[in-house]
Each structure stands twice: as C-alpha cells, then as structure tokens.
C-alpha cells in the first residue's frame, strides 16, 4: 500500500538565524533535555537553550574536533567523543545539569580517523561502536553517578564481537520488559545479541537481510518498544526481538512502503521522518498507524545536516547552521481537523486509538461520523456509528433522531446495545425509559418472536437471581397495554411482581387465577392482596363450595401461617384476620360467619374484640342455635356493650311481635294478620336471644336484668341462684312477680324468703294497688308461723336467763370467801421490820416484801436493792464520761499540727480529773432521790 494520504499538520516556526552559529564549524549536535548541544572542529561545546537565544560556549575544551555527542534519554548523562594528542579515541561522560565530568574511556589509536555507528542505551549504562566495521565494542558504565568529585577513567574491558561481514549499523535497545540487546546490521545479514546483567553478549538470532546504505545514507533507526526500522528503497522493515517468536519464524514484524526513496530516516514521537534531498519536499513526516503524511516541508534551503527532537518540536539543522523548528499541533486539534475539514473519520479513529485518547474523544469521532451519515440519509451507517458512542454520548441525542416509526428497527438495535452496556450502570429512571421505548418498538413492529425470546432470557435471569437487561416494570406495562397480556403476565410472574401479576389477572377477569396465585405469596403480600381483591373474587365465585374454600384458605394463613425463608432460616408468618373483614358484605354474611367460626374452632385467640362482635352478629343471622355457645365461649373477648346492642334490637322486635300476637289472640281478632304467622317462628328465636342475653347479663354481672326476660315460673329458681350472695335479689324477684301480677309466683317467693329467714315479713308488706294478685292472704299462714316461732324463742331465752342468775349467785359466794377468808401458803417476813407478813403488804420482783404500813405511801423500788441500783447507775455514768473524754482527746490530737506535743500536754494537764458533763452528777442525784423517799415517809408499825 503506497497511496499515502497527505495532511499538512506540522507547521514551521520559521528560520531562526543565530549569527553566533554562522562561523562555527559544527561537527556534532545532540538534543539535551531542553537544550541543544553543538560540537565544533575546534573542540568547543556550545549550548542553545531556545531557538532564538544566543548560544553559550561552556567551559569545556578538547584537544581535537568533537566527533560525536550523544545524550541519554532517561538519565542526566551526555557522551562526547574526540581524539587526543596521541590520536586515541576518548569518550567523556558528563552530567547534563552542570557538565561536571563523570567518566573517561580511552581507546588506543588504531589508525582510523573516526568511529562508526555510536549508539547508547536509554540510560547510557552502556554504549557501543565500531572502528574497523568488523568488530564492535560494548562498554558498560557504572549505574550510579553519586559521590563523583572528579572524572574517573574506566579501565574495564568492553565486550567485543567480530562478525564475518561488514558492519553497516549498530543499535542498543530495551524492550517493554526491560530486556537489553543490540542489533548489528551488516551488508548481508541482520544479527541480534542479548545483553545480560553483567554486560555479556549472547547471540539471539540472525535474519538474512542485506543493509548497505550508500553515500552516508542513514536508513535505520530505533522506534518504540525496541523495534528496529530499516529502509531499503521504499520498503521499511520492522524487526523485533520478542522471545515468543518460534525458531523458524522471521523476526520481521511488518513492512511499511513509502511513497519515495529517502536519503535518511529518523524516529520522532510516533512518526517516521524521512529526508529527500533531491525532491521538492525535503522532509516528510509519516504516521504509520494511519498511513498518512502529517507533514511535508517543500523547501528547507540547504541540505539537512541534523534532525533533533527538542524544544517541543522537530529541529532541523541545515548545512549553513540555520535552524528550523517544526511544531506539531495537539492530537485533539489533528482529530478535529480530520473530522471537520477532511471527513477522514477512519484516520481520526486510528490516530485516537494509537494515542490512547479517552473514550469520549473516540465517541466524538463516531458521533460526527454518524451525523454525517444521517445527513446523507444513510441511516443504517448512522446507527452503526451511534452504537459505538454508547457510554459517552447522551442516548437522548440518538433517540430523538430515530423516533419516527420508519426508524423503529434501527432504534431497536441501538436500544438493545444500550441496554447491554447500561445493564449495571444506568440509573433506574434511565433504564425504565429505555426499556419503555424498546418494548414499544417491539410492539409496533409485532416482533413477537423477539419478545418471546426476551421474556425467556429474563426468566432465566430470574431463576439465577440476576438482573435482566431491561426494566421489568416498564416492559410489563408496555406489553400489557399493547395487547401482549400473556407475555406481561409471564414476565410479572417470573420476577415475583405479584401486585402487577394480579392486576393483569383482575383486568382480564380471571378471579380464580388470582385465588390460586394467593397460595404462592408470603404473608404480607397475601394479606394486602386479599384485602384488595378478596371481595371481588367472592362476588365472582359461582358455587358455595368455592367461597367456603376461599374462606378456609384465609383461616389457614391466619392460623397455620406461611413458611418464609429469611436470612437462610425458615420463619413462619401469619396474617391478621381482622384485615379480611372488609371483603365481606351482607350477601356473603354466611361466608363471613363460616370464616369466623372456623377461626374460633382452630385458634380462638386470633379473634379480636371486633371479630368477636362480628361473630355474635353473624351467628345471630346464620346460626341462632349456637348463639348461647358463642356468648359463653371461654375465650370470648367481645364488647359486652356492643353485644347488648346487637342482641337487644332483634329481641325488642320479637317481643313486640309476640305481644301483638297475644293481644290479638286474647281479643279474638281472627281477621288480624298477626294471627296468620306461626308463633313458633317468633318464640323460638326469641328464646335463643333471651338465652344469649342471660349469658351476657351474667358476664356483666347485672343479674337483675335477667328477671325481665325469664318466664314467671323460673323467677323463684333465679332468686335461689343469684340471691345466695345477694339476699336483696329476692326482693327484686318479688317486685318482678308483682309487676307481672303472678300470685302463685309471688307466694312461692315469699314462702322461700320466709323459710330462709332472709327478711321480716312486715318488710314485705308493700303491695301495689295496681297488682291485685299481691294480697294479704299470701302472708296469713306465714305470719301465724312467725308468731309461733317467736313464742318458742321467748320461752328458750327465759330459761337461759334463769340459769345465768343461778350461776351469778354462786360466783358471788366464791368471791366473798376469797376476800374475807384468805390464808397464807408460805410465810414471808417483812424486809424492813423482819416480822411475819400476815396482813396487806407490798411485794417486789426482786423477791423482797414489806408490810403495807412499813412502806406507807409506797415506793418505786425495793428499799433493800436501792443501793445496788445507785451503784449501777453511777458506773454507767462514769463509762459515758470516759468515752466522751477519749473522743475529745482524739479530736484534739487530730486538730493539732504536732500530735505528740498535744498528747504530752494532755497527760501533763491531768485529763483524768473527773469533769461531769451533760448533767451527769445531777442525773445521779435525781435518780437517788427517786429511788429513796424521805425517811419520814418510812414507818414501821
């Protein structure tokens, strides 16, 4: 491929005329870290810092012409070669910062005027050259330049290798793996040697490639990654030293065909720079990756002497020492020009990828290319380019261009690729929007097979617990509204979208499908779903058995619950039956009763107060025979007030109906419609309700209310039951019998009151004039019995009084004898007068006794024991004083700065002197006075 596309991106800054360089005989030049070094035939080194600055001569002077200058790429070293007075080749290594000397290597005179093909490694840890073009030398330098105060002559011997042919080129190189090797070009072959860590050479391979440039042509150079570029005619061959190349395979990586035969080639950044002295364009800059010429200099005046890479551009040093600098625009500018001016999108893409530009730049190129194709109505190519912008270009930019129905197919392609890319990165709203668009396109184009495939793929994702490429909710919504109900239902079921799934079934009228789906739900979802759809489902069920089966299912999830897997453990959750109350109405009251009855049978604790109230109401309506059983249930938690309201209303209606029936029958109104009813239809339910009311009144403990609903003949037995703890209940029963005007019942109650002797009969004699059955005849026999009982009681009490009088007479006699006829059991002498005691006396607990006249006026303590009491009291007082003194001493010692001096002072001051405090002495005298009465009060008869 020789047809190179030319784009003139490189621009010249113009000729830089540096007068100081005109008179110099420049023999060597090199770039040097933002500087350019020039060596002259006079052995001088000149430094130019900028293209227009005056060059400065540095303080280095050599005895002969400067033959070569080479600067390390990745270190601060520069190698300068010259000949000394003895015609020896001298290699000096300097620091590029201050040009301080580092190392010196001297190669003895061999009769040649110059060395050939000088090359150095990127850090200048070694360099190589040849003198006779038969043998090449590889010198190794120390790795570090630290602590070098003066130039050091290196005497270590180089690695040498002699070849059979004539050497035409040498290149030291490193690859990306930092392997070191040297290419040796000869007239008839290309050889490569590996260099180990010690600098030894090891043969690597030989290629049968002839390289024999003429007239000092430089047709070989090193490129990136240690590749060697060698030109023969128009062909540039690229060689590598990769180890993974098989033994019999060539190391030639590729071949580049130029559009002309160059005089020399150089590597500059990512370009091959070629010179053509005999053509109009003296310099051409080739970009191999894009196969383009990015720069061409039609006339550079004189012949080119040096090409250097410095000052941010390509420096051309001409034979007349004038300098030309070529500037390269930024890659972004080149890409912009390629796209906007030349429509060379493919070249722009190659260039961007070669330079590893950000994805946004590459996406911009594809966007511009897509816009160009769209404007040309090439929509297929446009969508292909827009697909390549996914991830960088805003999708809305593309979607807006393809919203027309005619572009639906192309939009599908873009959206499918978009979903693949944004499966894990897109926001929920973005994913939802794109999914809606995609499935709308599917639906418009009726791509049922694609829809089925998407649904199947999504189902597989659901099984493996992965996210599908599209938003499930959006897809379901679009499919449902587009008529693909089956697909929408299947998708919702696969991803557990229970509410959506049931909504679709509801819209389709499939009530049994929803009922069956209830069995796949967890407790929370089932609870809310039944509340939402349960009433509708029951209303659509035709048979009673289906409705009862639904009620049994609700009972099961409320009592047995549903097992759910939570954090790897099975947990049972139940539903709240009170939530299901709302799904029933008057038409399904029997189903509601069945539901509550089954709950009561299985687990009555599940019935709340509200449900118990409803249970009473539904039992009243559907199973009146069980009403009393419900009321008396041991676990019942109904509200008694609410239950009373529920029962009283029908009870009043039935009572009123029965009353009207009795009145009509009594009046013998045969034409009255009320007599046409079956009275059993009134009395039977009324009996059930009354029984329930009795249970309710028992629970509320308002027993008097029971009397109003009991038949008259049962009132006495009720009084027996409830009057046991409350006798006044008999009176209430009597009043109820009075109200009903039942004489036999009144008589029976009065008789039982009389037998139990609960109240006097006169308290019962309060007949009401309005009740004729309450007469005094009821009490005649009972009053006569009362008088006979009272007569017997009077006789018994009289006999008891006579017996008590006789006992009192006997007691008086005994008391008199004890008072006047006493005697002494053991004689005791008076402790005062020592005479026997035979008359009234005083006796003390200590055992001493005194005549009454010997202790005239009495005494508190015994006269004999008085002294011992005084002694004991004095001892106690002394102990208290000592304890107080000790406490005072300790307090004084603690408060003193010198405890020892304080203690000595107390000892010297006689702290043992008796000082009674807190009334001690007065207390003793007071006690003594109380124990010893005055002597004049002590008399002895």
pLDDT value, residue 770: 44
776 shares a domain with 683: yes
345-354 helix and 359-375 helix, angle to the nearest 10 degrees = 170
Residue 440 lies in a domain: no
Look at residue 284 and give its three-state secondary structure.
Answer: strand
- Verify that 660 and 777 share a domain, yes or no: yes
**292 or 333: whose pLDDT is higher?**
292
**Helix residue ranges per DSSP H, 757-839:** 777-820
Residue 915's pLDDT is what? Answer: 43
Total-model pTM = 0.52
> pLDDT category, 24, cuts 50, 70, 90?
confident
Domain boundary among 754, 769, 788: 788
Average pLDDT, the chain: 83
How many distinct structural domains can be found in the chain?
A: 2
**How many other β-carbons are positioned within 10 Å of the β-carbon of residue 396?**
11
Let me know if residue 272 belongs to a domain: no
- Together in a domain, 695 and 759: yes
Tokens representing 403? 């919203």
For residue 675, name the pLDDT band (cuts at 50, 70, 90).
confident
Is the pLDDT at 386 greater than 60? The verdict is yes
- Tell me the CA distances in angstroms from 78 to 97, 104, 120, 121, one per residue in order: 10, 12, 10, 12
Rg (CA), the chain: 65
**What is the rounded average pLDDT of the residues 36-65?**
89
Separation between Cα atoms, residue 169 and residue 875, nearest integer Å: 133
pLDDT value for 940: 35
* pLDDT tens-digit readout, 653-662: 988 888 888 8
**Minimal CA–CA distance to 100: which of 91, 92, 110?**
92
331-335, 481-485, 742-746, 903-907: least confidently modelled range: 903-907
Q: Are 88 and 108 in contact (CB under 8 A)?
A: yes
Q: Which of the four pLDDT bands, split at 50, 70 and 90, describes residue 439?
A: confident
The per-residue pLDDT for 820 is: 66
Q: In this predicted model, what pLDDT tens digit does every residue of 296-311 receive, in sequence order?
A: 887 655 578 888 998 8
pLDDT for the residue numbered 771: 45
- Same domain, yes or no: 784 and 873: no
Report yes or no on 435 lying in a domain.
no
Q: Please report whether residue 270 resides in a domain.
A: no
- Tens digits of residue pLDDT in 91-145: 999 998 888 888 999 999 888 888 999 999 999 999 999 999 999 999 999 877 7
Question: Domain range holding 907?
Answer: 841-937
Tell me what pLDDT residue 901 has. Answer: 62
Lowest mean pLDDT among 171-185, 471-485, 555-569, 855-869: 855-869
State what percent of residues in the chain have pLDDT above 70: 88
624 touches 690 (CB < 8 A):
no
Calculate the CA dihedral of residues 781, 782, 786, 789 and round it to 10 degrees.
Answer: 70
Tokens matching residue 657 = 């109906």
Residue 778 has pLDDT above 70, yes or no: no
Express as a percent the part of the chain with pLDDT over 90: 27
Cα–Cα distance, 205 to 174 (Å, whole number): 16
Residues 655 and 775 grouped into a single domain: yes
Q: Is 708 within a domain?
A: yes
Q: Per the domain annotation, does 762 fall within a domain?
A: yes
Cβ(380)–Cβ(410) below 8 Å: yes
Model pLDDT for residues 197-254, shown as the tens digit of each residue: 777 888 888 889 989 998 778 999 999 888 999 999 999 999 988 767 777 788 888 8
Position 18 confidence tier, pLDDT thresholds 50, 70, 90: low
Shared domain for 650 and 775, answered yes or no, is yes
Same domain, 763 and 679: yes
- Residue 739 forms part of a structural domain: yes
DSSP H helices, 146-277, are none
Strand, coil or helix: what is 86?
coil
Indicate if the pLDDT at residue 941 is higher than 60: no
Q: 114, 129 in Cβ contact below 8 A?
A: no
Please identify, among 747, 764, 788, the residue that sits at the C-terminal boundary of a domain.
788
783 and 880 in a common domain:
no
860 assigned to some structural domain: yes
Cβ proximity of 619 and 626 under 8 Å: yes
Residues 780 and 909 in one domain: no
């Amino acid at each position: 491929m020789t047809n190179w596309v030319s784009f003139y991106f490189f621009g010249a800054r113009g000729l830089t005329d540096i007068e100081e360089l005109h008179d110099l005989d420049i023999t060597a030049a090199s770039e040097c870290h933002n500087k350019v070094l020039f060596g002259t035939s006079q052995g001088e080194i000149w430094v130019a810092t900028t293209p227009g600055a005056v060059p400065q001569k540095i303080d280095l002077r050599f005895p002969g012409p400067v033959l070569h200058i080479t600067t390390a790429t990745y270190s601060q070293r520069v190698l300068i070669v010259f000949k000394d007075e003895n015609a020896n080749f001298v290699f000096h290594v300097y620091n590029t910062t201050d040009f301080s000397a580092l190392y010196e290597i001297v190669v003895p005179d061999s009769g040649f005027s110059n060395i050939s093909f000088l090359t150095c490694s990127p850090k200048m840890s070694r360099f190589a050259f040849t003198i006779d073009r038969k043998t090449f030398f590889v010198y190794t330098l120390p790795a570090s330049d630290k602590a070098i105060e003066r130039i050091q002559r290196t005497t270590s011997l180089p690695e040498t290798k002699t070849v059979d042919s004539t050497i035409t080129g040498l290149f030291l190189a490193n690859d990306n793996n930092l392997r070191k090797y040297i290419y040796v070009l000869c007239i008839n072959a290309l050889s490569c040697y590996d260099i180990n860590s010690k600098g030894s050479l090891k043969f690597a391979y030989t290629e049968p490639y002839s390289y024999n440039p003429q007239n000092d042509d430089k047709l070989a150079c090193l490129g990136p990654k240690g590749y060697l570029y060698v030109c023969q005619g128009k062909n540039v061959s690229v060689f590598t030293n990769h180890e993974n190349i098989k033994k019999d395979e060539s190391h030639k990586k590729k071949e580049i065909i130029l559009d002309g035969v160059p005089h020399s080639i150089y590597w500059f950044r990512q370009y091959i720079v070629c010179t053509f002295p005999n053509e109009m364009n003296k310099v051409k800059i080739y970009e191999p990756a894009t196969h383009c010429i990015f720069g061409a200099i039609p006339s550079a005046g004189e012949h080119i002497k040096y090409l250097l890479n410095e000052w941010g551009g390509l420096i051309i040093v001409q034979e007349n020492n004038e300098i030309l600098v070529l500037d390269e625009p930024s890659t972004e500018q080149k890409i912009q020009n390629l796209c906007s001016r030349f429509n060379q999108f493919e070249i722009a893409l190659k260039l961007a990828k070669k330079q590893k530009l950000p994805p946004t730049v590459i996406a911009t190129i594809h966007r511009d290319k897509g816009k160009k194709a769209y404007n040309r109505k090439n929509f297929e190519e446009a969508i292909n380019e827009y697909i390549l912008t996914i991830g960088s270009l805003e999708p809305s930019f593309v979607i807006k261009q393809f919203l027309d129905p005619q572009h639906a197919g192309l939009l599908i392609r873009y959206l499918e690729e978009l979903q693949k890319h944004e499966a894990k990165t897109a926001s929920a709203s973005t994913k939802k929007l794109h999914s809606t668009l995609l499935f709308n396109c599917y639906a418009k184009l009726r791509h049922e097979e694609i829809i089925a495939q998407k649904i199947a793929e999504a189902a597989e994702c659901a099984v493996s617990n992965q996210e599908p490429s599209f938003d499930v909710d959006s897809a379901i919504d679009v499919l449902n509204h587009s008529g693909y109900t089956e697909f929408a239902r299947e998708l919702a079921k696969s991803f557990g979208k229970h509410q959506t799934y049931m909504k679709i079934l509801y819209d389709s009228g499939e009530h049994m499908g929803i009922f069956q789906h209830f069995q796949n739900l967890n407790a929370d979802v089932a609870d809310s779903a039944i509340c939402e759809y349960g009433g509708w489902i029951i209303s659509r069920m035709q048979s009673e058995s289906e409705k009862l089966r639904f009620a049994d299912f609700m009972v099961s999830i409320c009592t047995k619950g549903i097992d759910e897997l939570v954090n790897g453990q099975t947990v049972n959750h139940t539903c709240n039956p009170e939530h299901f109350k709302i799904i029933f109405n008057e038409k399904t009251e029997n189903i509601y009763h069945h539901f509550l009855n089954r709950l009561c049978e299985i687990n009555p604790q599940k019935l709340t107060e509200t449900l118990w109230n409803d249970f009473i109401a539904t039992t009243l309506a559907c199973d009146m025979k069980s009403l009393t059983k419900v009321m008396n249930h041991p676990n019942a938690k109904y509200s008694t007030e609410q239950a009373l309201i529920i029962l009283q209303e029908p009870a009043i209606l039935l009572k009123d109906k029965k009353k009207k029936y009795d009145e009509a029958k009594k009046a013998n109104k045969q034409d009255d419609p009320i007599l046409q009813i079956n009275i059993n239809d009134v009395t039977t339910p009324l009996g059930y309700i009354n029984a329930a009311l009795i249970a309710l009144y028992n629970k509320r403990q308002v027993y008097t209310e029971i009397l109003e609903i009991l038949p008259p003949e049962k009132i006495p037995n009720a009084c027996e039951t409830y009057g046991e703890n409350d006798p006044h209940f008999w009176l209430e029963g009597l009043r109820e019998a009075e109200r009903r005007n039942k004489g036999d019942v009144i008589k029976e109650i009065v008789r039982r009151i009389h037998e139990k002797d609960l109240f006097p009969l006169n308290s019962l004699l309060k007949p009401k004039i309005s009740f004729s059955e309450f007469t005094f005849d009821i009490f005649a026999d009972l009053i006569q019995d009362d008088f006979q009982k009272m007569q017997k009681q009077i006789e018994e009490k009289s006999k008891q009084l006579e017996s008590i009088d006789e006992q009192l007479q006997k007691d008086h006699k005994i008391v008199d004898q004890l008072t006047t006829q006493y005697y002494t059991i053991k004689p005791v002498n008076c402790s005062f007068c020592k005479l026997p005691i035979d008359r009234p006396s005083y006796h003390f607990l200590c055992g001493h006794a005194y005549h009454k006249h010997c202790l005239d006026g009495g005494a508190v303590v015994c006269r004999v024991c008085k002294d011992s009491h005084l002694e004991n009291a004095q001892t106690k007082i002394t102990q208290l004083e000592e304890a107080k003194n000790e406490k005072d001493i300790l307090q004084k010692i603690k408060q003193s700065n010198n405890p020892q001096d304080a203690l000595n002072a107390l000892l010297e001051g006689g702290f043992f002197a008796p000082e009674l405090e807190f009334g001690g002495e007065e207390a003793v005298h007071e006690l003594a006075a109380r124990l010893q009465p005055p002597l004049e009060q002590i008399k002895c008869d």
